[in-house]
Structure 1
Amino acid sequence: MTAKSTIEQQLDHRTIRAFTKQPVAPAIIEQLVSVARHTATSNFQQAFSVISVTDPAKKEQIAAIAKQPYVAANGHLFVFVADQHRDQQIGAEMGKTENHLGGTDRFLQAWSDTTLAVQNTEVAAESLGLGTVILGSILNDTQQLIDILALPQLTFPVLGLAIGWPDQKPQLKPRLPERFVHFENTYQLPAPLRPQLAEYDAVVHQYYDLRDTNRRVDTFTNQVKARLALQPEKRAEMLTVLHRQGFLLE
């Protein structure tokens, strides 16, 4: 694939939530995991793991956490996990019990390694014609997810990724104009902000009004406002769960 076609593919990214009944071949899953393994990593620590969730009962449980039934439907489900447990095991087996693996620095390294692996895997999957949906919704109840996946200390789930052969082609969702996300040398958000977002709000309004499914009246700034004070109950417990897993205790 040329650089140009890769860019075109990424600019045409659409979240796919409906997959055909055609399974994703094991060879493709192996290839995608290989792509994840070859992702750039902080300090060569490779501080993430990938769990393929193939047990239908577990998929149903995770779909319930995510409040998205399609997670349990057709397609292959990955859960990407920030993982400092592996390094702890290596150190213990080499007689090194003191470590800072639960500290903020090492946690953020693991988190960034994991999210980079998710993005790499998504790009690779789409290059093969697969559809994808990244699932931040698995964090709606992190403790339950940790229990379902039997995650040990010094691990934490970051994102899910469902892939499959697309059974839909949704409209391309409009993104913020460049001037609101790309600055030079210093942070330079234009002010006052909302009036300058009016044109983008109109584009988003039209997108929601004309798209094929789940039409509604909405804008970008209205969505931002609605989410400012929104926090699902179990997400409010996330720091407590991080502490239970051995992270951010410093």
Structure 2
Amino acid sequence: MIHNFTTDQQVNHRSIRQFKDQSLSAEQLTTIYQAARHTSTSMFLQQFSILHLTEPKKQAAVRKIAEQPYVGAEGDLFIFIADLYRNQQIRHQLGNDDGRLHTTDIFMQAVEDTILALQSALTAAESMGLGGVVLGSVKNDPDKLIQVLGLPKMTFPILGLQVGIPDQEPQLKPRLPLNQITFDNDYPRDFSINDLKDYDQLVTTYYDLRDANKRIDSFTNQINGPKLNNHKTSRDMLLQALHNQGLALE
């Protein structure tokens, strides 16, 4: 592997969930925004927006939805939004109809723009010595989140991002081996769970060292457990919430 500042920063990424009680400076915010703004965008549609939540009531409401105590607490909370409203308004104000804006294809392009922008923002934050954690949990109740944020139709919150000055130094979480996720030309169908024995041991050791009093099993046992077992959650309403926003209708 080639080592430089950027690659070392990326492969040593750790999710930070505990921050010092200090907000980002205006210069740090601008840097994060500029990095997100210049991210690759599908068809130059630029279908994302960022909400920076600074109102304590909104922070608390999102924290309640996410059910995680650090969300909207120390540091700065951002919600990254797939935004087709802006382009809808451009078309309307130029005398046109919505065209393909309600299709799943265009919505997926907005999702891609949004996720890429978030990753650029996080990379920029970490380059300044800040830490961050990506928050899928903000969508635990998508309809409620849309209401709390006051979002118009044709927008949808995709992910949250909490950024701040790290107040913890977590271990580097082991990822799947490269030979399990990278392939040349053809996708292999001869997968065997036995190929993950060494990785399972790494994951078990990681959790044992992190919290010896709370037994968390191997990677394969986690995949085979409650995370993916059949059960109803509020996130099962995501498709209906999307449709309520006028998105991915066809």
Q: Into which bin does the TM-score normalised by the smaller protein fall?
A: over 0.9
Please list, as runs of the form range in 1=range in 2, the aligned pairs for 1:94-113 lying within 5 A after superposition.
94-113=94-113
Match of 2:207, SS state, is: helix
2:7 is matched with: 7
Equivalent residue runs for 1:16-55 within 5 Å: 16-55=16-55
The one-letter code sitting in structure 1 at the alignment partner of 2:233 is E
Deviations 1:151-188 (A, max 9, x none): 11111000000000000000000000011100110111
**Offset, 1:214:** 7.2
> Structure 1 pair 130/21, CA: closer, same or farther in 2 (3 Å)?
same
- Residue 100 of structure 2 aligns to a residue whose secondary structure is coil
Match of 1:197 in 2: 196
| Contact 2:88–2:98 (Cα < 8 Å) also in 1 | no
Instruction: Report the alpha carbon displacement of residue 215 of structure 1 after superposing the two structures with TM.
Output: 4.3
Q: Is the 8 A contact 1:103 1:248 kept in 2?
A: yes
Unaligned 5+ segments in structure 2 are: none
Point out where structure 1 has 5 or more consecutive residues left out of the alignment. none
- Alignment of 1:171 with 2:171, yes or no, is yes
Partner residue, 1:209: 208
Residue type of the partner of 1:146?
I
- C-alpha distance in 2, partners of 1:172/1:44? 36
Look up the SS of the partner of 1:223 in the other structure: helix
After superposition, where does 1:60-71 map in structure 2 within 5 Å?
60-71=60-71
Distance verdict in 2 for CA 1:158–1:28, change over 3 Å: same
Specify the SS of the correspondent of 2:4.
helix
Code of the residue aligned with 2:200 in structure 1: it is: D
- CA distance in structure 1 between the aligned counterparts of 2:22 and 2:51, rounded to whole angstroms: 21
SS in 1 for 2:141: helix
SS of alignment partner, residue 24 of structure 1: coil
Q: Which residue of 2 aligns with 1:144?
A: 144
SS at structure 2 position matched to 1:72: coil
Contact persistence 1:152–1:245 (CA under 8 A):
yes
Following superposition, the deviation at residue 230 of structure 1 comes to 5.0
1:4, distance to aligned residue in structure 2 (A): 1.2
Give 1:220's aligned residue: 219
- 1:13-41 per-residue CA deviation (whole Å, 9 max, x = no partner) reads 00000001122112211221111111110
Distance 1:213 1:149, change over 3 A: farther
Q: Percent identity?
A: 47
Give the CA deviation at 1:52. 0.2
SS at match of 2:70: helix
User: For the aligned residues, what is the CA RMSD?
Assistant: 1.6
Q: Following the alignment from structure 1 to structure 2, what is the Cα–Cα distance between the partners of residues 230 and 171? A: 31
User: Which shows bigger deviation, 208-217 or 73-82?
Assistant: 208-217
- Alignment-mate amino acid for residue 11 of structure 1: V
What one-letter code is carried by the residue in structure 2 that aligns with 1:25?
Answer: S
Q: Which has the higher helix share?
A: 1
**Moved >4 Å (runs of 4+):** 212-215
The change in CA–CA distance for 1:119 and 1:98 in structure 2 (over 3 A counts) is closer
Deviation at 1:216, TM superposition (A): 2.4
Look up the equivalent residue of 2:48 and give its one-letter code.
F
Q: 2: distance between equivalents of 1:212 and 1:26?
A: 37
Assess if the C-alpha contact under 8 Å between 2:72 and 2:162 holds in 1. no
CA distance in 2, matches of 1:96, 1:242: 23
Q: Where does residue 243 of structure 1 map in the other structure? A: 243
Q: How many residues get paired?
A: 248
